[in-house]
A and B are shown apart, each in its own frame.
Chain A
């Protein structure tokens, strides 16, 4: 059973709703959905009422009559004593209790009042939003929203530094691609808070299955600028041995799964990894990231459904660059992931977290996003709603950071990056035998033969082959 994390608006009214994702397949013997929202009246599902026209009326009448007969049939099966909770008549299905309603209301998302509100900690100027009431209860977990969020100066500064380094890294690698030194690149511009702050809220044992816009996690966990450059240039020091396009980073030791291009495939795979962790009884969870576009994929639905059914500890993090949590507020990201992780690990329940954000950069170096969105919209978000600036204001406001340190960090990072790029560019590419390794666990004889044949061919016709590839 999955819990959807929602929390306070800045107006202070704290409302937390836990909603159970209904399972499609009731036949499964797995866990049953027993907890149901306590403060949940049938009319909470009300959206706009459909305009009455003849077809709707017909539908309405049809609905009424089948409901009446079904209700009558079912009443005989279930004793009415059990059904009465809070004066709501209801029915016990194998998946849980469902209350009846006498009003026909269609759930419509065009009504803004019923949208799940968006959690934030810092306002647009990086100032802590005062909490009214001091805390929020969401049934299964305590979400403390005091004046001081649960973050130390050391963690906050490290978060800020990594967000800055991510920005600088993105700028320089993007330029390198434009100069033709890299074949491809993809920035996290506008979404720096999400990957860095989320990583800060996790432990090193938590397994990360990224989409491709989360190098912030690697930065947090200690991947060096040189290691990033090695992968982008596909040289022999690349952990991927030059087998993939740039930005397809992967690191076993940092528990970060190698990036894979097809969208959303990591979502059900994350449920599988979480299942394995659960079997191991490890105090760790899986965190998988994806964009809102990927959430259209069938894999998204299957992954969430299955994780809920198997009760596996996985966080599904949606970078909605189109609620939930203000993804441009580093502290909100940190808090929400901390809380979500608690639920996932302690209770073995999967959690879906949606970060609202804005992708300032183009999708990738193969994209010109001004073709499908207005330039002033991009400029606005870049200037006025920048997550790095916002967090900077808070950190500076606390007296933990200043202009001098800022320019020093940026220039030092820039220098390191340029050195890393120069060194990575000059490093040898992987040797020829790497092309044939790792197809299988052990290199089969036919590939060894092909390697030999290719070696011979290169020896006989050296002019036809690149001279910088060690044979």
Chain B
């Protein structure tokens, strides 16, 4: 099942089960969705539950938040999370904080979803990863699926959750197909928020990643295994709350850590994971933690530069090797 179909089926099933769930966003209805994630839903549920909005992120996000205040369950789509910047006040100051500021009187069961991070050749204003920005804010939950199973389970969990959820998808993953079990296809399937998944078990080095980078990490693990390094790959799934227990347990087992993300390095997800491991599992580390992140520049457009600005599989392999050899050799290159 492709990630696209996984998202579409999850939204469809939740809309069918709960009449309060409704969709809004630019082109989600008649155009079938800018990336066809919401295909067929307008025909099935009608214009009352699938709203094509005017082009105003600030406007329709505000409207979605208002609807959530009064008990509806909106799923607000941003054509890309880069555009969510136009609405970030509603997301942070209204959606995230209202339950706290009103002392529980106003709950905001809203889901903000859309593609996040770099695509291919879309330039600086369409390529930023917003995981660190949203994940730093208390009151929000932030999810990042990788596989179709993740997409289905986490989307259903997000829609059912009474708190505001930021759901970070990835445009390049929409078309990728993953095997899914019968359990995943069942309409009651749901994944818990706040639990990471160990995609591949290993004993020499822990590699954490989320979204598209999970695929890269798995490829890197394959390459490393041929060189005698057994890497454990953790698919974070949930950025906030972060599954610190799984990460720390894994590092206590392997004693080495490489964090991987596509976004900017400073104050990124890797920074938080490093802090957590240093605080909780300092004695277990046999090597300095390696952070792999995108280049600290706005995303360049030229294809050759773009390739150099995002992590590649080889970068992850080299970093893992560095953690494995650092204790015995000063050579930082592999």
A in complex with B: yes
Pair B139/A272 contact, Cβ less than 8 Å: no
Pair A268/B66 contact, Cβ less than 8 Å: yes
The digit string for A246-262, where 1 denotes a CB below 8 A from any CB of B, is: 00101110000110111
Cβ of A460 within 8 Å of any chain B Cβ, yes or no, is no
List of B residues within 8 angstroms of A446 by Cβ: 241, 244
Using CB atoms, name the residue of chain B closest to A261: B93
The CA of A24 and the CA of B59, in the complex, are separated in Å by 13
Using CB atoms, name the residue of chain A closest to B96: A439
Pair A29/B66 contact, Cβ less than 8 Å: no
Pair A439/B68 contact, Cβ less than 8 Å: no
Using CB atoms, name the residue of chain A closest to B105: A252
Pair A305/B59 contact, Cβ less than 8 Å: yes
The CA of A62 and the CA of B261, in the complex, are separated in Å by 55
Pair A276/B70 contact, Cβ less than 8 Å: yes
B137 to chain A, nearest CB (A): 10
CB contact under 8 A between A250 and B62, given known A260-B93, A269-B94, A298-B56: no
Pair A272/B62 contact, Cβ less than 8 Å: yes
Cβ of A28 within 8 Å of any chain B Cβ, yes or no, is yes
The CA of A279 and the CA of B71, in the complex, are separated in Å by 11
CB contact under 8 A between A265 and B68, given known A275-B63, A446-B241: no
The CA of A25 and the CA of B63, in the complex, are separated in Å by 17
CB contact under 8 A between A302 and B103, given known A265-B93, A269-B94, A272-B68: no
List of B residues within 8 angstroms of A248 by Cβ: 101
B66 to chain A, nearest CB (A): 3
B48-106 residues at the A interface, CB under 8 angstroms: 48, 51-56, 58-72, 74, 89-90, 93-94, 98-106
B194 to chain A, nearest CB (A): 7
Cβ of A136 within 8 Å of any chain B Cβ, yes or no, is no
Pair A258/B51 contact, Cβ less than 8 Å: no
Pair B63/A265 contact, Cβ less than 8 Å: no
Using CB atoms, name the residue of chain A closest to B67: A272
The digit string for A429-460, where 1 denotes a CB below 8 A from any CB of B, is: 00000100111110010100000000000000
List of A residues within 8 angstroms of B161 by Cβ: 441
Pair B163/A272 contact, Cβ less than 8 Å: no
List of A residues within 8 angstroms of B4 by Cβ: none
Using CB atoms, name the residue of chain B closest to A304: B59
A227-243 residues at the B interface, CB under 8 angstroms: 238-241, 243
Most buried by B among A28, A238, A299, A440: A440
List of B residues within 8 angstroms of A299 by Cβ: 58-59, 62
List of A residues within 8 angstroms of B53 by Cβ: 306
CB contact under 8 A between A275 and B72, given known A302-B62, A306-B59, A306-B63: yes
CB contact under 8 A between A28 and B52, given known A252-B105, A444-B241: yes
A157 to chain B, nearest CB (A): 31
Cβ of B107 within 8 Å of any chain A Cβ, yes or no, is yes
Report which of A239, A275, A309, A310 forms a contact with B105, defined as CB distance below 8 A: A239
Pair B47/A271 contact, Cβ less than 8 Å: no
Cβ of A30 within 8 Å of any chain B Cβ, yes or no, is yes
B27 to chain A, nearest CB (A): 10
Pair A302/B58 contact, Cβ less than 8 Å: yes
List of B residues within 8 angstroms of A305 by Cβ: 54, 56, 59
A314 to chain B, nearest CB (A): 9
B87-139 residues at the A interface, CB under 8 angstroms: 89-90, 93-94, 98-107, 138-139
The CA of A239 and the CA of B102, in the complex, are separated in Å by 7
Using CB atoms, name the residue of chain B closest to A444: B241
The CA of A354 and the CA of B258, in the complex, are separated in Å by 59
Cβ of A416 within 8 Å of any chain B Cβ, yes or no, is no
Pair B100/A438 contact, Cβ less than 8 Å: yes
List of A residues within 8 angstroms of B62 by Cβ: 265, 267-269, 271-272, 299, 302-303
Cβ of A424 within 8 Å of any chain B Cβ, yes or no, is no
The CA of A30 and the CA of B30, in the complex, are separated in Å by 12
Report which of A243, A267, A306, A441 forms a contact with B54, defined as CB distance below 8 A: A306
List of B residues within 8 angstroms of A25 by Cβ: 54-55
Using CB atoms, name the residue of chain B closest to A288: B66
Cβ of A244 within 8 Å of any chain B Cβ, yes or no, is yes
Pair B163/A441 contact, Cβ less than 8 Å: yes
Most buried by B among A258, A273, A274, A302: A302
List of B residues within 8 angstroms of A257 by Cβ: 69, 102, 106
Report which of A251, A303, A440 forms a contact with B63, defined as CB distance below 8 A: A303
List of B residues within 8 angstroms of A306 by Cβ: 53-54, 56, 59-60, 63
Report which of A261, A273, A438 forms a contact with B103, defined as CB distance below 8 A: A438
Cβ of B215 within 8 Å of any chain A Cβ, yes or no, is no
Cβ of A6 within 8 Å of any chain B Cβ, yes or no, is no
Using CB atoms, name the residue of chain A closest to B99: A438
Using CB atoms, name the residue of chain A closest to B19: A279
The CA of A66 and the CA of B89, in the complex, are separated in Å by 42
The CA of A306 and the CA of B62, in the complex, are separated in Å by 10
B88 to chain A, nearest CB (A): 11
CB contact under 8 A between A260 and B54, given known A265-B62, A441-B162: no
B198 to chain A, nearest CB (A): 20
Pair B54/A262 contact, Cβ less than 8 Å: no
CB contact under 8 A between A250 and B106, given known A265-B94, A440-B141: yes
Cβ of A343 within 8 Å of any chain B Cβ, yes or no, is no
Pair A302/B56 contact, Cβ less than 8 Å: yes
Cβ of A207 within 8 Å of any chain B Cβ, yes or no, is yes
List of A residues within 8 angstroms of B94 by Cβ: 260, 262, 265, 269
B166 to chain A, nearest CB (A): 13
Report which of B59, B72, B141 forms a contact with A302, defined as CB distance below 8 A: B59
B216 to chain A, nearest CB (A): 29
A451 to chain B, nearest CB (A): 14
List of B residues within 8 angstroms of A439 by Cβ: 99-100, 138-139
List of B residues within 8 angstroms of A207 by Cβ: 70
A409 to chain B, nearest CB (A): 31
Using CB atoms, name the residue of chain A closest to B107: A441
Pair A440/B99 contact, Cβ less than 8 Å: yes
CB contact under 8 A between A279 and B103, given known A28-B52, A265-B90, A272-B62: no
A200-222 residues at the B interface, CB under 8 angstroms: 207, 209
The CA of A301 and the CA of B244, in the complex, are separated in Å by 44
Can you list 24 A-B pairs, Cβ within 8 angstroms, ordered by A? Answer: A243-B100, A252-B105, A265-B94, A269-B90, A269-B94, A272-B69, A272-B70, A272-B72, A273-B67, A273-B69, A273-B70, A276-B69, A276-B72, A279-B72, A299-B58, A299-B59, A302-B54, A302-B58, A302-B60, A303-B62, A306-B54, A309-B54, A439-B99, A441-B162
8 A-B pairs with the lowest CB-CB distances in the bound complex, closest first: A302-B59, A272-B66, A268-B62, A269-B66, A272-B67, A276-B70, A272-B63, A258-B102
Other A-B pairs, 14, CB within 8 Å; known A238-B103, A275-B72, A298-B56: A244-B101, A260-B94, A265-B90, A265-B93, A268-B90, A269-B66, A272-B64, A275-B67, A276-B67, A298-B58, A302-B62, A306-B53, A306-B54, A438-B104
Chain B interface (Cβ < 8 Å from any Cβ of A): 29-30, 47-48, 51-56, 58-72, 74, 89-90, 93-94, 98-107, 138-139, 141, 161-163, 194, 241, 244
